[in-house]
Structure 1
Amino acid sequence: MYAHDESRDQWTQLPPPDQVEAASTSLRMLADPTRMRMLWLLSGDEYDVSSLAAAVGIARPAVSQHLAKLRLAGLVSLHRDGRRALYRARGGHVRRLLAEVMNAADHHLHGIPDHD
């Protein structure tokens, strides 16, 4: 069940409760502007905590806390390169979700009409 599917049948039944809960958690994580900026950057490249802190303009401990929340929500992944921990958005579905949210915000800000 995906939002980009054109079938109206998918909208006639509620998704499973655990899926709704996971989706709500993901959206709560995106509700923070700092996490949204971080996830935007992580959608394009891998970052370690220090480089992400410099790019977003906040302290490293704050970046680490935000990354931990994003990881728990399944929005970012971590891999190690030696002693360095590198983070990145977890898959194309995360990038598409972020792009859709930004497109919706752009439409709202600039009065672009919806086309269903």
Structure 2
Amino acid sequence: MTKQLDTQLSNQTVQMFKILGDQTRFRILYLLETKEWPVNAIAQELKMEQSAVSHQLRKLKEAKLVKSRREGKNILYSQADAHVYDLLHLALEHAQHTQN
């Protein structure tokens, strides 16, 4: 008996990998693993323009991978789904393993 994959679930999974497949979004998620960051600090850490970081954060938020909260004048971003970090770490481990 052949195992069937639900089309909608397959599409959602592919979309998730597309989101994770962007280097900037990957680096942003990596930063957000351990603490909240304001967009200007993320931009400074990644040596990028704030507008470019904001654009990528918006995509991550739409994918429900990042959440935000207001603190005074700042908006702080943090991880929304810890499961994604399992994927990130597995991908990093795989890349490290294939380098050797």
TM (normalized to structure 2)? 0.88
Question: Deviation string for 1:18-40 (max 9, x for gaps)?
Answer: 22222211111111111111110
Residue correspondence of structure 1 range 1-116 to structure 2 within 5 A: 12-14=3-5, 16-110=6-100
Task: Report the 3-state secondary structure (helix = DSSP H, G, I; strand = E; otherwise coil) of the residue aligned with 2:31.
Answer: helix
One-letter identity of the residue aligned with 1:52: I
Task: Report the 3-state secondary structure (helix = DSSP H, G, I; strand = E; otherwise coil) of the residue aligned with 2:75.
Answer: strand
One-letter identity of the residue aligned with 1:12: K
For residue 55 of structure 1, report the CA deviation from its aligned partner: 0.7
Task: Report the 3-state secondary structure (helix = DSSP H, G, I; strand = E; otherwise coil) of the residue aligned with 2:70.
Answer: strand
One-letter identity of the residue aligned with 2:47: G
Structure 1: segments with no counterpart, 5+ residues: 1-10, 111-116
Residues 82 and 17 of structure 1: is their aligned pair in 2 closer, same or farther, counting only changes over 3 Å?
farther
Computing the radius of gyration from Cα coordinates, the structure with the larger value is: 1
TM (normalized to structure 1)? 0.77
For residue 94 of structure 1, report the CA deviation from its aligned partner: 1.4
Q: Distance in 1 between matches of 2:63 and 2:44?
A: 23
Residues 19 and 49 of structure 1: is their aligned pair in 2 closer, same or farther, counting only changes over 3 Å?
same
Question: Deviation string for 1:88-109 (max 9, x for gaps)?
Answer: 1212201111111111111122
Q: Identity over the aligned pairs, expressed in percent?
A: 32
